[in-house]
């Protein structure tokens, strides 16, 4: 038996499938919690720190995303050299510290700096969650694990705004960051006690500039890796545009800020449902068929929603229903896109995951910021962005696959 087979056997004995999926989901959920728990608090934070331009509040989200995206280039090569555990544990500890800095910030500038730093630390959760899954699984089984993890992970955006709102009922907004620090500490303890190292010593790669550049070159020259990373970045850009804008949409368009939390939870819940559905059918139907059907649905619903917004027929109920349908299609496409981007990257999963995460998150954050900054008191800029992102993503997939193929192979 090889060392890698022994490592895989020990890993399975140390942590069962259910706990493994739950841990991967928790690593991903800390990201969503760091973003979505902020939404109810944006007006209070802006008022407390003397932020007068309503669109400037979006930087509380965007700063985290930019730090989160940029640092992924660091975590991947470090984990390929030193292993998954030490990098992950160090980052979780730093995430807790930077959340506490955000909690005590006396200026908007310090808060934004702390959010960038927190995003940089939490970035390891995304990179290493995917790398750890890729260490143990590949192909459709990897897609199944990622779909199950994504389903559990989606409880975070469902619950995070409610958690933020609940904290605001009993304490100042600063306590939201305190809760994030506590969540990072709990996750640090769980990982340190239960997760074994998944990268065998003989598979570790040297931490040299030449090796890192070579890893970037391999990742960016692989057709599947680059194509599906770009497509996922476009979908994430639409999602981040929604997250940046949604608090202002409820306040300025529908004049119902008190409904943000329940409607946001309902909309996000459809992603959890379709992710679970994907995990049940992906092995039988295949990633391409499911993701491409999801993309077509995403585009059609975005076009309908834009038409409704332009013609002035939008109501809160229509907004919620159509947005929920868009998010359901997003859930079908996104987990499969991520798995297909990693399919040929088994030999350098950490580096590949970091490059893909950097490109996807930074590009998505910038697209989402552009969509959010275009907010003009209507939902027209938001759904113009959704439609353009969806159409471009479908074009990228068509180029990657040399044509759209709605089949399982």
Q: Which of 6-10, 238-242, 314-318 has the lowest mean pLDDT?
A: 6-10
Give the mean model confidence (pLDDT) for residues 230-255: 92
- The count of residues in the chain is 409
Q: Is residue 406 part of a domain?
A: no
Question: How confident is the model over 170-204, as pLDDT tens digits?
Answer: 999 999 999 999 999 999 999 999 888 888 888 88
Q: Which of 276-285, 289-298, 345-354 has the lowest mean pLDDT?
A: 345-354
CA distances from residue 138 to 29, 143, 239 in whole angstroms, order as listed: 22, 8, 27
Percent with pLDDT over 70 in the chain: 92
Give the span between the Cα atoms of 73 and 360, in whole angstroms.
Answer: 12
Q: Mapping DSSP to helix (H, G, I), strand (E, B) and coil, where does residue 93 land?
A: helix
Residue 358: name the closest of 245, 248, 219 by CA.
Answer: 219
Q: Is residue 292 part of a domain?
A: yes
- Reply yes or no on whether the pLDDT at 11 is more than 50: no
Angle, helices 287-310 vs 223-248, to 10°: value is 30
pTM of the model: 0.79
Give the confidence band of 3 by pLDDT, cuts at 50, 70, 90: very low
Give the confidence band of 150 by pLDDT, cuts at 50, 70, 90: low
Question: How confident is the model over 28-39, as pLDDT tens digits?
Answer: 889 888 998 999
Q: Are 292 and 332 in contact (CB under 8 A)?
A: no
Give the mean model confidence (pLDDT) for residues 329-356: 80
Q: Is residue 245 part of a domain?
A: yes
Give the confidence band of 407 by pLDDT, cuts at 50, 70, 90: low
Angle, helices 72-82 vs 209-221, to 10°: value is 120
Q: Is residue 302 part of a domain?
A: yes
Question: How confident is the model over 223-238, as pLDDT tens digits?
Answer: 889 999 999 999 999 9
Please give the pLDDT value at position 155: 65
Q: Are 158 and 269 in contact (CB under 8 A)?
A: yes
Give the span between the Cα atoms of 299 and 58, in whole angstroms.
Answer: 25
Give the confidence band of 4 by pLDDT, cuts at 50, 70, 90: very low
Give the confidence band of 66 by pLDDT, cuts at 50, 70, 90: very high
CA distances from residue 377 to 15, 323, 371 in whole angstroms, order as listed: 50, 18, 13
Q: Is residue 19 part of a domain?
A: yes
Q: Mapping DSSP to helix (H, G, I), strand (E, B) and coil, where does residue 255 land?
A: coil
- Reply yes or no on whether the pLDDT at 133 is more than 50: yes
- Reply yes or no on whether the pLDDT at 5 is more than 50: no
Q: Is residue 408 part of a domain?
A: no
Give the confidence band of 367 by pLDDT, cuts at 50, 70, 90: very high
Give the confidence band of 12 by pLDDT, cuts at 50, 70, 90: very low
Q: Is residue 203 part of a domain?
A: yes
Residue 354: name the closest of 258, 212, 238, 146 by CA.
Answer: 212
CA angle 315/317/320 to nearest 5° reads 110
Show the domain range for 96.
3-400
Q: Which of 16-20, 277-281, 379-383 has the lowest mean pLDDT?
A: 277-281
Q: Provide the number of structural domains found in the chain.
A: 1
Q: Is residue 405 part of a domain?
A: no
Please give the pLDDT value at position 6: 47
> For residue 76, what is the domain's CATH number?
1.20.1250.20
Please give the pLDDT value at position 322: 95
Residue 385: name the closest of 231, 239, 233 by CA.
Answer: 239
């Amino acid at each position: 038996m090889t060392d890698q087979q022994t490592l895989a056997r020990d890993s399975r004995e140390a942590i069962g499938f259910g706990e493994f999926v739950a841990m991967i989901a928790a690593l991903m959920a800390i990201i969503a919690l760091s973003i979505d728990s902020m939404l109810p608090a944006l007006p209070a934070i802006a008022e407390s720190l003397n932020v007068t331009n309503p669109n400037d509040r979006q930087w509380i989200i965007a700063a985290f995303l930019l730090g989160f995206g940029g640092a992924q280039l660091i975590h991947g090569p470090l984990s390929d050299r030193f292993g998954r555990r030490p990098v992950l544990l160090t980052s979780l500890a730093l995430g807790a510290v930077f959340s506490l800095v955000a909690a005590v910030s006396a200026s908007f500038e310090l808060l934004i700096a702390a959010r960038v730093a927190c995003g940089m630390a939490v970035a390891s959760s995304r990179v290493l969650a995917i790398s750890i899954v890729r260490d143990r699984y590949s192909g459709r089984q990897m897609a199944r694990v990622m779909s199950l993890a994504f389903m559990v992970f989606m409880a975070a955006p469902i619950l995070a705004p409610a958690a933020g709102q609940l904290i605001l009922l009993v304490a100042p907004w600063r306590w939201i960051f305190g809760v994030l620090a506590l969540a990072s500490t709990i996750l640090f303890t769980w990982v340190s006690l239960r997760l074994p190292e998944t990268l065998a010593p003989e598979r570790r790669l040297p931490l040299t500039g030449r090796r890192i550049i070579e890893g970037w070159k391999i990742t960016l020259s692989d057709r599947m890796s680059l194509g599906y990373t770009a497509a996922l970045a476009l979908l994430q850009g639409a999602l981040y545009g929604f997250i940046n804008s949604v608090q202002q949409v409820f306040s300025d368009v529908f004049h119902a800020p008190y409904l943000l939390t329940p409607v946001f939870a309902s909309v996000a819940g459809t992603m959890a449902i379709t992710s679970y559905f994907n995990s049940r059918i992906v092995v039988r139907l295949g990633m391409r068929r499911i993701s491409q059907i999801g993309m077509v649905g995403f585009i059609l619903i975005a076009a309908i929603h834009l038409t409704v917004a332009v013609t002035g027929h939008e109501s809160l109920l229509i907004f919620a229903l159509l947005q929920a349908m868009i998010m359901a299609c997003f859930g079908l496409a996104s987990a499969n896109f991520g798995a297909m981007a990693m399919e040929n990257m088994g030999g350098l999963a950490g580096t590949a995951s970091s490059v893909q995460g950097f490109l996807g998150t930074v590009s998505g954050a910038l697209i989402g910021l552009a969509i959010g900054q275009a907010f003009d008191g209507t939902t027209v800029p938001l759904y113009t962005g959704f439609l353009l992102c969806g159409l471009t993503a479908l074009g990228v997939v068509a180029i990657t696959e040399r044509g759209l193929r709605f089949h399982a192979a």
